[in-house]
Amino acid sequence: MVTLDFGAVLAEWPLLLRGVGMTVGLTVVAAVLGAALGVGCAWARLHGGRGLRAVVAGYVELIRNTPFIVQLFFLYFGLPGLGLRLSPEVASVLAMVLNLGAYAGEIVRAGLEGTPPGQIEAHRSLALTDLQVFTRIVLPPALGRVWPAMVGQIVIVMLGSAVCGQIATAELSHAANLVHSRNFRAFEATILATAAYLLLAIALRQTLHWLGPRWVFGRVAPLGGAGR
């Protein structure tokens, strides 16, 4: 007979709640900075010089072809050998940003490549600078085309943050392991952590789908008729 006792786990709700808060915080920072890095990488792959394109391509291939936990361990355990010591939280955020940036770069690049060349030339004829054309005319529709893929990747990075507990970052999985070590209720703690990750993933996906058309790609500046 297996006797379940969720009460013993729920009694540690402040610890679990702090873990949820840390997971949400890591995800928000990583999503904002990682998406910005991805946009920069996409621009560099399409419009940068040969050297810049090579550097960005190498970074993307390195991140996309190595496990996230190896990237995390390199930042936290490897960099001190070079004289740079990071806190668990900083190492976790940096690893998540670098990981998301590489994948987001390829996602955004696919959206940018779908922009009709004639649209770019038409807006350049309105005396807009290249930066204005990119940020206010080309980028928003491109993000709209790839937003579902971007949302999915951000959710994957959020779920991947569970690995950050391996370097003592006090996120949700780390909190669940601490609860387990205190009351030896591993099954119940794992079930609750799984349910929390499921709810967080659903909430994050719904939030991003709501925010996208309102704040990310739904506003194209009507400069002299641009975007009409």
Average pLDDT over residues 44-69: 96
The rounded distance, in Å, linking the Cα atoms of 13 and 163 is 21
Residue 223 Ramachandran class (φ > 0 left, ψ -120 to 50 alpha, else beta): beta
Q: 84 in helix, strand or coil? A: coil
Tokens of 18: 């702090």
pLDDT at 123: 59
Quote the tokens at residue 163. Answer: 């690995």
Query: What's residue 223's pLDDT?
Result: 42
What's the predicted TM-score (pTM) here? Answer: 0.90
For the stretch 103-153, pLDDT in tens is: 999 999 999 998 777 666 665 667 677 787 788 888 999 999 999 999 999
**Chain segment 155-207, per-residue pLDDT in tens:** 999 999 999 999 999 999 999 999 989 888 889 999 999 999 999 999 999 99
Angle between helices 13-47 and 172-183 (to 10 degrees): 150
**Cα dihedral sign, 26-29-33-36:** positive
Q: What is the pLDDT of residue 42?
A: 96
